[in-house]
Structure 1
Amino acid sequence: MSPATVTHNAAAQRFELTVDGLLCEATYRLQDGVMWMNHTGVPSALEGRGLASQLVSAAVAHAREQGLKIKPVCSYVAVWMRRHPEAADLLA
């Protein structure tokens, strides 16, 4: 399996990647310079491959590049942020 590439679908307000024909996503709502990260979804057949982490990492990189803050509404995103203190400065 080749590494999956995360893409930013700005129109749908989500980061996504497709593996084995299955869509994985991390969704957000942008309001007043804050990305409200509200959902990560990885099909059960793909769990345990680090795909959700890839999605959140891409969202964090995007937020940093765009000067945005992140509000982790999704429990997975909240845990990811706690485990990655280098991203703490982005917390809203």
Structure 2
Amino acid sequence: MDDTQRHTAQIVDSTEANRYEALVDGKVAGFAEYIRTKSLIAFVHTEVNAGYEGQGIGTALVRSSLETARADGLDVLSVCPFYTGWIARHPEYRDLLYKSRSKVND
């Protein structure tokens, strides 16, 4: 395979596995694991299979999952370093980030 070849991934929410999956030709090319509550989704781990690295699979996972979180009205907690870095480079998604509402008195 040519290193510059890019694959178009279909992103699906595999709710039974608690992860978004990037499918290329019906095969899992990568995934983003999450923990979801009624109001929050925490992205805890993202992995792209070696044969698909550098082809936009991770970006497709993050963008699709964040768009779904936005549509569902969920706050996003980014535990995964890949998500954290991606959101830092795409400020249009920062409004989704979870903000603690608890107050600590001194």
TM-score (norm 2): 0.79
| SS across alignment from 2:41 | strand
Does the residue aligned with 2:64 lie in a helix, a strand or coil? helix
1:24 corresponds, among 12, 30, 35, to: 30
Q: CA deviation at 1:81?
A: 0.7
CA offset digits 1:24-80 (Å, max 9, x no partner): 101100135111100111011110001011001111011001000111100000001
Which consecutive aligned stretches of 4+ in structure 1 deviate over 3 angstroms post-superposition? 20-23
The structure number with the bigger radius of gyration is 2
CA contact (8 A) 2:21 2:28 kept: no
Residues matched between the structures, number? 92
Q: Provide the alpha-carbon RMSD of the alignment.
A: 1.6
**Residue 50 in 1 paired to residue 56 in 2?**
yes
Q: Give the aligned partner of residue 84 of structure 1.
A: 90
Provide structure 2 residue ranges, at least 5 long, that are not aligned to the other structure.
1-5, 99-106
